[in-house]
Structure 1
Amino acid sequence: MEKKCSIIIPTKDKNSRLYLTLKCLEPQVDENTEVLVVFDGCTKETIEEFNTFTWKMNVQKVISEKNVGRAAARNLGIARATGDVIIFLDDDRLTEANFIKGHMKGHTGDPCVVLGERMDAKVTEFELLDLMKEKNLADVLSFVAEHSKKEFYYNIKKIFVKKPRAKYRFMAFITGNVSIDRSLINEIKGFDEGFKGWGYEDTDIGYRLAKLNIPYYQDNSIICYHLLHSHVKSQKSKEELKNLKYLKHKFPDDRVLGSAIRFYTLKARLEL
């Protein structure tokens, strides 16, 4: 029997990016796929504008009036998901045509984690608005691909998943393009909502999955393009360091995780 999947996309007031994310998914969605968008404390205007968008696929809205954060928002999506496999995608990631099939191909055997390729795309807000009006999806993806390059930081992280059970494979676990058997998510009880602000709720869940000896598989043919956006580096670094402290407190005596945390702490302080 063919497995079904649930795609969970948390969002916070980024309709132009979200629109393009869903536009890329639309041709791929069939009866074995459900799409859940979690509105995490979005403004009334954001939701009203989203309601004007029309799709040939069913998009389930999960609305949290309060901004609960990345971990809790994804848990809201997990609670509504019915698929055998959960694909986590961000609201600013455009996917190639084989995205869903590529992830599902990796889940034909025992429960596992499948990681896709990540590209960084520099596209202006004006260009995004033009892309929203473009009818030909191939032209949208072609334009974005021309303005993309491999995500530098993630390209380094891929060395940790050269083997399915490599010791540090959890360091490559990033929720922008990853899929997991829902049975595993339920077993570890989802994301830890103690992580607030930016960072490491995904490292934590990736680490807990690795502790269960779950294999990780990297598939560079499953491509998504990250539509880069600005952020306040000082605020991000502050939140990052706070979450690293929380992660260290959860597993105080773990040498493997401790090594990773020291690396991440240096990265945060250098604001890489």
Structure 2
Amino acid sequence: MFISIVIPTYNRKPILEKCLYALEKQRFTDSKVNTYEIVLVDDGSTDGTLEWLNKNTNDFPHVHCFVQNHLGPASARNLGIEKAKGDIIIFIDSDLVVTKSFLQSHADALVKGEEKLGNDRLFTYGSVINTCNFNNPTAEAYKVTDFSAAFFATGNVAIARKWLEKAGLFDISFKQYGWEDLELGVRLKKLGLKLIKCPEAVGYHWHPAFNLKQIPSLINQEIERGKMGVLFYQKHPTFEVRLMIQMTLFHKVLWGILSLGGTLNENTLSPILQWFINRGKPQIALEIARIFLNWYNVKAVYKAYQDI
């Protein structure tokens, strides 16, 4: 089994360093994995990522780096698949720090899954634990909020490249934030692929602790996600997709009520958000902020839908 780990990156040099060093420390308990490579696609970074990598090439014998203009993660992953040599593709994000048994765990799950199903129409999905502990990200414990019901998400997934090629790869129309991986998941499901959970393949998803300065970019992210959600629905106009992108009356009423019609927003809630942040509880502050972030998302979904 030849594994290619495809990683798109854009201006994430500090955490990318931890990501790559962790991948170079993989340990294998049997011969399922013959060899592996790390296919890094730099999506036009301007933070010195390439310069740092060039200075430290001896530390990363498995890394093959490719560069493109800033075209987004869908395009970057497609380039990574094109350049990859492996028969198995593992997608992770460049802010994910994995354990030493990460690749072996995915390999084991793929083999066992194929034996159980009697065919190879499957992919494995590992655990993603969110953390804001930059110095020691792997110290974070699993939390209820780390649960994901996504069918196919590129934060930590392993799949045979032939299924990606048969499904048609990622749709590069998704140029803004969100949904390009779940949209591909819909096409993979139509091919009959099954999801095999692989909790032993653990990745720690680092992000900086929430603070009020992040709010404008988070709002913009939700607006972009709303627009891309409508593109997702245009490609797959089903009720399941409407639920996923929050384009239902239920979501409109829910977040409308919780936000008091937008009255509870980044301005009115900022004092209580800062109160929690000052007491070392940024995660609680972020969960409260989701009240208005989801309202922005729902409004963006309906506006984008009306525009078309």
Q: CA deviation at 1:251?
A: 1.6
Per-residue deviation, 1:186: 0.6
Q: Contact 2:24–2:62 (CA<8 Å) still a contact in 1?
A: no
Deviations 1:202-256 (A, max 9, x none): 110111111111110111111100111365111101110000010111122x233
Partners of 1:148 and 1:121 in 2: CA distance: 9
Q: 1:263 to 1:151 in 2, by over 3 A?
A: farther
Give the one of 241, 248, 270 matched to 1:257: 241
CA distance in 1 between partners of 2:236 and 2:72 (Å): 22
Among candidates 233, 238, 242, match of residue 248 of structure 1: 233
Unaligned runs of 5+ in 1: 128-142, 158-170
SS in 1 for 2:6: strand
Give the distance between the partners of 1:156 and 1:226, measured in 2 at CA: 13
Structure 2: distance between partners of 1:88 and 1:67? 19
Contact 2:93–2:154 at 8 Å: present in 1 too?
yes
Q: Which residue number in structure 2 is paired with residue 162 of structure 1? A: none
Of structures 1 and 2, the larger Rg is shown by 2
* Structure 1 match to 2:4: 6
Does 2:207 match 1:228? yes
Equivalent residue, structure 2, for 1:155: 147
Aligned partner of 1:21 among 11, 19, 22: 19
CA contact (8 A) 2:15 2:95 kept: yes
In the TM superposition, what are the counterparts of 1:188-199 in structure 2 within 5 Å?
A: 188-199=167-178
How far apart in 1 are the matches of 2:71 and 2:168? 17
Which aligned pairs between 1:50-61 and structure 2 lie closer than 5 A? 50-53=53-56, 54-61=58-65
Deviations 1:151-176 (A, max 9, x none): 71x5152xxxxxxxxxxxxx332211
TM-score (norm 1): 0.80
**Aligned equivalent of 1:136:** none
Secondary structure class of the residue paired with 1:198: coil
Taking the aligned partners of 1:91 and 1:151, their CA distance within structure 2 comes to: 23
Separation of aligned partners in 2, 1:255 and 1:236: 24
TM-score, structure 2 as length reference: 0.71
Q: 1:15 corresponds to which letter in structure 2?
A: K
Work out the CA distance in 2 between the residues paired with 1:195 and 1:105: 33
Instruction: Number of aligned residue pairs: give it.
Output: 237
- Percent identity reads 28
The residue identity in structure 1 corresponding to 2:126 is: G
Residue segments in structure 2 that go unaligned for 5+ positions in a row: 28-32, 115-119, 253-289, 298-308
Q: CA deviation at 1:193?
A: 0.4
Q: Highest relative contact order (Cα 8 Å, sep 6+), 1 or 2?
A: 1
| 1:207 partner letter | V
Cα displacement string for residues 91-136 of structure 1 (whole angstroms, at most 9, x for unaligned residues): 1101011100111122222131100001011125xx4xxxxxxxxx
Which amino acid is 1:37 matched to?
Answer: L
What do you get for the CA RMSD once the two structures are aligned?
2.3
Q: 1:112 to 1:200 in 2, by over 3 A?
A: same
Q: Give the residue type in structure 2 aligned to 1:270.
A: W
Find out whether 1:118 has 2:128 as its counterpart.
Answer: yes
| Residues 167-207 of structure 1, C-alpha deviations (whole Å, 9 max, x = no match) | xxxx3322110111111001012100011221000110111
Tell me how far 1:32 sits from its aligned partner: 1.4
Report the counterpart of residue 101 of structure 2 in structure 1: 98
Which secondary structure does the structure 2 equivalent of 1:107 belong to? Answer: helix
